[in-house]
Amino acid sequence: MATDPRHTIEHLTTWERPSASEGERRAAEWIAGELRELGFETAVEEGPAHGTYWWPMGLLSLLGGLAGLARRRVLGVVGGAVAAAGIWEETGLWQGLWTRRLLSKKTTYNVVARAGDPAAERTVVLVAHHDAAHTGAAFDFTLVRWYARTFPKLLERGRVWPGTMRLVFLGPVLVALGSLLGLRRLRRTGTYISFGSVAAFADIGRSPVVPGANDNLTAVAAVLEVGRRLAEEPVSGIRVLLVSTGSEESFEEGMAAFVDQHEHELPRDRTDIVALDTVGSPRLVLLEGEGMLTIKPYDDGLKDTIAAAAADAGVPILREHWLSFGSDALIGLRRGYRTALIASFDEHKLPTNYHQMTDTADRVDYDTVAAAAVVSEATVRRLASSSA
């Protein structure tokens, strides 16, 4: 059995795991095998996924840019508006995903293990993801880290980094508004932004897949460690689903597939979703909410439960910070579940080696991984106690 976090991360980084790929499937089978060895009923479930975000976002940005070049105002208005609506749907807090119905489909692979009390009315879903991201120039945080070092007092006061997807969304919005109002400079600015977004997404698509140790094999290792602890000392009064999703890096397609397949057994008034993402940086963080365009808070009661569990376990965990990226917790928010996210960051309030080729097993803070597992287990047991 190889539930040791270091072995888990070192082993799974030995092959590429892009979203909806053979590598992702292979990782899912390995994780499922570990959970079965712990004695849990475990399945690898398949779901539909496109497997990228740069194609839909890049094509929508291209539409916005071309609309800005159109000679007729009506084409600028309609093209910009449609592009903006598509980008909002891809990244916003509601998601019908008409944008992806026009694109090719692949298969994504989720791992679902059943632990805890199968007869319990209340369920907690503990979720990580095992696919890995593409890198790209957009993830070079050299300037951001310069800002953090140069203005430490401003960094200390900051609670969220600006969301880069807002700039992507702004491009076609300016095209539509500029076309509608007859403001050429506004329309031209939106056109430049949109074509800049196209270039950024094309660069991400052509860039290699990162090893993905911190993002997000650290969370996979933490979930396996929680499984080991629950196998040794079972919990009663709550049903526990240990989940590792695929295709998180293609805008949470694996988590969406999981909820679609299990919604019938996960009533919203009796289900909590606790996501773990990038828990290998030095400082463990209980985030307050997330969103790529608009930020929505996680459930206050669940956050307080996690904070209390961390205090009981003697694990320091930071609060009052918000996520301007996206995680599997975003699906919980969209679907109306009580949701929270445990993550980590470094001294610059950034996830270490985020979407970079340096995201390797030797750069992980394993103390933080262990702390995430301790807090997660303590949260499960606290939720069980509150259900008794």
Q: Residue 244 pLDDT > 70, yes or no?
A: yes
Confidence of residue 99 (pLDDT cuts 50, 70, 90): confident
199: number of CA atoms within 13 Å, CB side? 7
Alpha-helix residue ranges (DSSP H) falling in the chain:
5-12, 22-37, 54-69, 73-91, 142-150, 152-157, 164-181, 184-206, 218-232, 253-262, 300-313, 329-335, 366-387
* Mean pLDDT calculated for residue range 257-268: 96
290: number of CA atoms within 13 Å, CB side? 22
Q: What is the DSSP letter of 234?
A: -
Residue 151 identity: F
The alpha-carbon radius of gyration of the chain (Å, integer) is 21
Show me where the domains of the chain are located: 5-50+105-135+209-387, 54-100+159-205
- Separation CA 233–CA 116 (nearest Å): 10
3-state secondary structure labels for all residues of 94-159:
CCCCHHHHHCCCEEEEEEEEEEECCCCCCEEEEEEECCCCECCHHHCCHHHHHHHHHCHHHHHHCC
Pick from 259, 240, 238: which is nearest to 248 by CA? 259
For 14, 36, 109, 286, the CA distances from 135, given in Å and listed in that order, are: 17, 33, 22, 26
- Separation CA 137–CA 71 (nearest Å): 32
Name the β-bridge partners of 107: 48
Residue % of the chain over a pLDDT of 90: 92
Residue % of the chain over a pLDDT of 70: 97
Structure tokens at 269: 């008034």
CATH 3.30.70.1560 applies to domain 5-50+105-135+209-387: no
Element (H, E) at 338: strand 338-345
Pick from 75, 54, 58, 56: which is nearest to 187 by CA? 75
Question: What local confidence, expressed as pLDDT, does residue 388 receive?
Answer: 59
Q: Residue 1 pLDDT > 60, yes or no?
A: no
Q: Residue 92 pLDDT > 90, yes or no?
A: no
Residue corresponding to tokens 């897949």: 209
Pick from 147, 173, 174: which is nearest to 161 by CA? 147
User: Computed from CA positions of residues 30, 32, 36, 38, in that sequence, does the dihedral angle turn out positive or negative?
Assistant: positive
Pick from 199, 177, 188, 249: which is nearest to 61 by CA? 199
pTM of the model: 0.95
Question: What local confidence, expressed as pLDDT, does residue 94 receive?
Answer: 62
Torsion of CA 375, 376, 379, 381, to 10 degrees: -110
- Separation CA 132–CA 156 (nearest Å): 30
Confidence of residue 96 (pLDDT cuts 50, 70, 90): low
Backbone angles phi, psi at 221, to 5 degrees: -60, -40
Q: How far is CA 338 from the centre of its chain?
A: 16
* Mean pLDDT calculated for residue range 38-66: 97
Highest mean pLDDT (candidates 96-110, 152-166, 228-242): 228-242
Non-local CB neighbours of 231 within 8 Å, separated by 6+ positions: 38, 39, 40, 115
- Separation CA 319–CA 298 (nearest Å): 12
Q: Residue 322 pLDDT > 80, yes or no?
A: yes
Structure tokens at 1: 């059995």
185-222 tens-digit pLDDT = 999 999 999 999 999 999 999 999 999 999 999 999 99
Instruction: Tell me the pLDDT of the chain averaged across its residues.
Output: 95
170-186 tens-digit pLDDT = 999 999 999 999 999 99
